[in-house]
Amino acid sequence: MTVPRLLGSFAPGAAPAAVNPLLVLLPSLGTTSVLWDGVVTRLRADHRTAGLRILRIDLPGHGASPSIVDAVTIGELADAVLAVVDEAGGGAFHLAGVSLGGAIALELAATHPDRVRSLVMSCSGARIGTAQGWAERAASVRASGTASLVTGSASRWFAPGFLEREGSGAGARSLATLVDVDDESYARCAETLADFDRTADLGTLPMPTLAISGQHDAVTTPASMEDLADAIPGGRHVALDGASHLAVLEEPAAAAELIAQHIERAERDGAASVARDRGMTVRRSVLGDAHVDRAIAATTRETAAFQDFVTRYAWGDIWARPGLTRRERSIATLASLTTGGHENEIAMHVRAAQRNGLTRDEIAEVLLHTALYAGLPASNSALAIMRAVFAEQDGATSASDAPAASDTPGQTP
């Protein structure tokens, strides 16, 4: 078995930039990336997603992708998708797939969670159908060609009355496209689903996941899609009333809105997570592990939001900016705390200033200089707190020497 070569189409976005998020779209068995036309058109018109780089990839023997004759697995199809993404610039990306495309997307999310920023599975599953059913489908196509599937696909793919209402629209075109799919490639792709089962991995998926189902879908039912979402931490399921198995084609406006909201939320949460991780790194570096561990241990339900706010904005944003060194930021912080009379913060930042490279004499000089502008009483109090910190470090402090309110875990950042 070898990883097949896949092809597709790439759209750079309304405002091309390498930093713009990438969305990868995968079609279902028997369809091509044209399946996503209605969704892509609407994403392009939406200010929230107009800048997305969008990469659509065809399955083997479908659309632009070359045919295959050898057996292939879902894992190899996932590797083939990743190869195309890497050719387009690589990095992490948002991922959406329909049916077989959704199974490939799930495989990628399970095996390369660091690459998948968010996941959308439409009318798909961690396991779809039965091994016998897929073997029979493959045998039928090898014997009679994909043209023999048109009638059955029409009833499986679309909600009752959809084709009649739409006439010669996208639904009819998708059935015509099915006839052009390479027979052996279709059979090989069908066979990939016979042994595919990622049910046991759903609980480990770390990325935001959205499951979209069609209310009339008898293949991957709304109930099965809801079970899928429930098994994924934070997973969400939405059923589209007027759709069946090709919900993104039948209801492109609703599907595009759901995907836009999902990506927007994932981008926002992802940015917050990056800031949180960066902030925690800086916070521990400046304040020390012991202090931060005490603050975290003392966190309550009522103070959790404040702790998160401090970590992301104070430490992940301001303290992480390159405009000043940490040494210079400590000088500014000590002067500001003294001027504002925030005495319970001073001891913590005297220690932080030492971690940032200031000597005892330099800290005392900062507080002396501050007295000139903040007033003698403010600096006198700060100097007393500084003296208590130094005495404690020298092992010569007593309970009466230390300021009562300083360095309280959970109240200080």
| CATH class of residue range 322-393 | mainly alpha
pLDDT at 167: 82
Of 2, 56, 4, nearest in space to 28 by CA: 56
Q: What is the pLDDT along the chain (413 residues), one digit of tens a residue?
A: 578 999 988 877 665 555 689 999 999 999 999 999 999 999 999 999 988 999 999 999 999 999 999 999 999 999 999 999 999 888 999 999 999 999 999 999 999 999 999 999 999 999 999 999 999 999 999 999 999 999 999 999 999 999 998 888 999 999 999 999 999 999 999 999 999 999 999 999 999 999 999 999 999 999 999 999 999 999 999 999 999 999 999 999 999 999 999 999 999 888 888 888 899 999 999 999 999 999 999 999 999 999 999 999 999 999 999 999 999 999 999 999 999 999 999 999 999 999 999 999 999 999 999 999 999 999 999 999 999 999 999 986 443 344 333 333 333 45
Q: What angle do CA 389, 393, 395 make, to 5 degrees?
A: 115
Spatial separation of the C-alpha atoms in residues 106 and 128, rounded to whole Å: 12
pLDDT at 396: 62
Distance of CA 387 to the CA centre of its chain: 48
What dihedral angle (degrees, nearest 10) is formed by the CA atoms of 183, 104, 137, 133? 170
User: Which is it for the CA torsion 200, 221, 28, 118, positive or negative?
Assistant: negative
| Predicted local confidence at residue 226, as pLDDT | 98
List the one residue out of 178, 133, 200 whose CA is nearest residue 28. 178
CATH of domain 8-270: 3.40.50.1820
30 by Cβ neighbours in 10 Å (0-12 / 13-18 / 19+) ranks as buried
Do the beta carbons of residue 171 and residue 249 sit within 8 Å?
yes
Q: Which two tokens stand for residue 119?
A: 């996941």
Domain spans of the chain?
8-270, 322-393
Q: What is the pLDDT of residue 15?
A: 57
Chain Cα centroid distance, residue 288? 30
Instruction: Report which of 219, 206, 248, 263 is spatially closest to residue 97, judged by C-alpha positions.
Output: 248
